[in-house]
């Protein structure tokens, strides 16, 4: 298929289609792009039945990725390596133009191998420092390969030969999505017996009541789609009479999403200090999440600090932009940067706004706007805005309750597919 005929996922301003193709523009990928790729991968792998031996399921996954996702990800050949002691051996390969040596032992000191284990994922081209033409040619690589470490303690490594010209940042996020979905499959089985414990932990992290903060009303509510969910919100009193408000949304739902959301809220508290600016806090948190066990999962975050005079300083890390409401005017709070986790070097910008008396900020996760009715139509941002324009004078609690009531009415009894969280902050 030529470039012009491919459907495109990472296409910046271009429309996202149900089929995912190679990028043809250099615009930065968006949070919705990552979630679209994640959901397609998850739907594909959900059909795989449980297999007790992790190598067996990874062989099946690798075959599916090479067979069904070549156009999506640009991967023309896939290889699976299994750890035995301190060494890694090639145990299977799919695709490619010539046979590769099954049983090949990766040299322990091979620089790309060491980097993959240390960083979790890697992209390397011919001519890069440490790249060995002899080793890679034997493994079927002609120019570029990508690798991800999989499983607890990096029990496996999956590598792909990359075909065609794809932007490195987009390969990075594709690899992160693939790594997460595979780890998700393994984690679901391993962690099935501790879901109730995770629910208790998650409930302990959610605020037990709304904070009492002079000059403001604050209220939030979160509904997981499963027993536990990937949405979290938190209130964080700060020095200089500031109130921090955070909302986070991990890709997917269920236990792995809940664990990462927990890591984000815990990490946010740890990354704060009295002198930290909002962007510095978010950048520190991003590095912490990148190093975490579930760093291959995407998570968006909005964090803002409200001051007693109505000042708001915030950073939006790939999250659905909260809406600042002044009368019937709704302003999205968009400044920030990419979602947390995949890129430890990501930089973020700081946004500023001001709330007059009666103004409100409504924070939400995409489980609200992507909620579907019996006809399969999404709730949508436009409906939320229409609703908010009729809620100009009510308090924060009443605003949250009105939004959730309208969402329930719209769903018509259909169970939500994603977690849903709404938080309102109103200046009085």
CATH 3.60.40.10 intervals, the chain:
197-427
Cβ–Cβ contacts within 10 Å for residue 202, how many? 23
> Dihedrals φ, ψ of 326, to 5°?
-130, 100
Longest pairwise C-alpha distance within the chain: 70
What was the pLDDT predicted at 177? 79
Mean pLDDT of 219-243: 84
Mean pLDDT of the chain: 82
Name the least confident of 96-100, 139-143, 165-169, 388-392. 165-169
**Who contacts 44 (Cβ-Cβ below 8 Å, separation ≥6)?**
64, 68, 69
pLDDT in tens, 51-92: 556 788 788 888 888 887 777 677 889 999 999 999 999 999
pLDDT in tens, 358-370: 999 999 999 999 9
Q: Is the pLDDT of residue 252 over 50?
A: yes
Banded pLDDT at 411 (limits 50, 70, 90): very high
What was the pLDDT predicted at 176? 83
What was the pLDDT predicted at 67? 85
Q: Measured between alpha carbons, how far is 267 from 417 in angstroms, rounded to an integer?
A: 27
Q: Is the pLDDT of residue 167 over 70?
A: no
Banded pLDDT at 191 (limits 50, 70, 90): low
Mean pLDDT of 402-421: 92
Domain 197-427: which CATH number of 3.90.550.50, 3.60.40.10, 3.30.1330.30, 3.30.9.80: 3.60.40.10
Closest CA to 26 of 145, 169, 176, 172: 169
**Do the Cβ atoms of 318 and 370 come closer than 8 Å?**
no
CATH 3.30.450.40 intervals, the chain:
3-190
- Greatest mean pLDDT among 91-95, 257-261, 398-402: 398-402
Q: Measured between alpha carbons, how far is 143 from 166 in angstroms, rounded to an integer?
A: 13
Task: Give the pair of three-digit tokens for residue 291.
Answer: 């190093």
Alpha helices for 206-294 (secondary structure H): 255-271, 278-291
Q: Is the pLDDT of residue 160 over 60?
A: yes
What was the pLDDT predicted at 221? 95
Domain 3-190: CATH class, spelled out: alpha beta
Task: Give the pair of three-digit tokens for residue 350.
Answer: 């700081």
Task: Give the pair of three-digit tokens for residue 389.
Answer: 């324009």
Give residue for tokens 């999956």. 158
β-bridge mates for residue 244, sequence order: 236, 305
β-bridge mates for residue 320, sequence order: none
Name the least confident of 28-37, 278-287, 311-320, 413-422. 28-37
**Do the Cβ atoms of 177 and 209 come closer than 8 Å?**
no
Alpha helices for 293-395 (secondary structure H): 366-369, 380-389
Percentage of the chain modeled with pLDDT above 90: 48
pLDDT in tens, 323-343: 999 999 999 999 999 998 888
| 3-class SS of residue 356 | coil
Q: Is the pLDDT of residue 22 over 60?
A: no
Please indicate whether residue 127 or residue 46 has the higher confidence score (pLDDT): 127
End-to-end alpha carbon distance in the chain:
59
């Amino acid at each position: 298929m030529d470039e012009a005929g491919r459907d495109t996922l990472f296409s910046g301003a271009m429309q996202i289609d149900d089929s995912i193709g190679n990028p043809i523009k250099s615009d930065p990928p968006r949070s919705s792009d990552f979630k679209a790729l994640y959901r397609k991968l998850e739907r594909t792998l959900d059909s795989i039945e449980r297999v007790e031996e992790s190598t067996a399921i990874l062989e099946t996954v690798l075959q599916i990725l090479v067979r069904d996702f070549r156009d999506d990800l640009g991967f023309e050949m896939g290889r699976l390596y299994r750890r035995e002691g301190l060494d890694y051996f090639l145990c299977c390969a799919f695709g490619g133009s010539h046979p590769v040596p099954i049983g090949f032992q990766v040299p322990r000191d091979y620089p790309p191998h060491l980097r993959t284990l240390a960083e979790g994922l890697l992209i390397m081209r011919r001519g890069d420092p440490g790249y060995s033409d002899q080793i890679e040619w034997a493994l079927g690589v002609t120019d570029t390969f990508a690798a991800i470490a999989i499983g607890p303690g990096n029990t496996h490594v999956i590598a792909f030969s990359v075909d065609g010209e794809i932007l490195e940042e987009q390969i990075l996020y594709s690899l992160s999505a693939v790594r997460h979905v595979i780890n998700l499959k393994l984690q679901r089985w391993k962690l099935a017996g501790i879901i109730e414990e995770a629910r208790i932990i998650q409930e302990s992290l959610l605020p037990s009541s709304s904070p009492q903060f002079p000059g403001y009303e604050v209220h939030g509510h979160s509904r997981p789609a499963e027993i536990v969910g990937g949405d979290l919100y938190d209130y964080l009193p700060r020095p200089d009479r500031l109130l921090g408000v955070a909302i986070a949304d991990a890709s997917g739902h269920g236990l792995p999403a809940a664990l990462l959301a927990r890591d984000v809220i815990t990490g946010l508290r740890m990354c704060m200090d009295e002198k930290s600016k909002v962007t510095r806090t978010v950048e520190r948190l991003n590095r912490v999440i990148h190093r975490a066990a579930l760093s291959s999962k995407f998570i968006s975050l909005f964090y803002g600090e409200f001051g007693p005079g109505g000042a708001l300083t915030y950073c939006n890390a790939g999250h659905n932009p909260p809406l600042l409401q002044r009368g019937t005017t709704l302003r999205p709070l968009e400044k920030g940067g990419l979602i947390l986790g995949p890129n430890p070097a990501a930089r973020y910008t700081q946004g500023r706004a001001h709330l007059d008396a009666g103004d409100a900020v409504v924070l939400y996760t995409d489980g609200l706007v992507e909620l579907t009715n019996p006809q399969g139509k999404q709730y949508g941002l436009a409906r939320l805005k229409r609703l908010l324009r009729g809620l100009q004078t009510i308090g924060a609690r009443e605003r949250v309750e009105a939004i959730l009531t309208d969402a329930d009415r719209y769903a018509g009894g259909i169970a939500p597919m994603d977690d849903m969280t709404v938080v309102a902050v109103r200046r009085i």
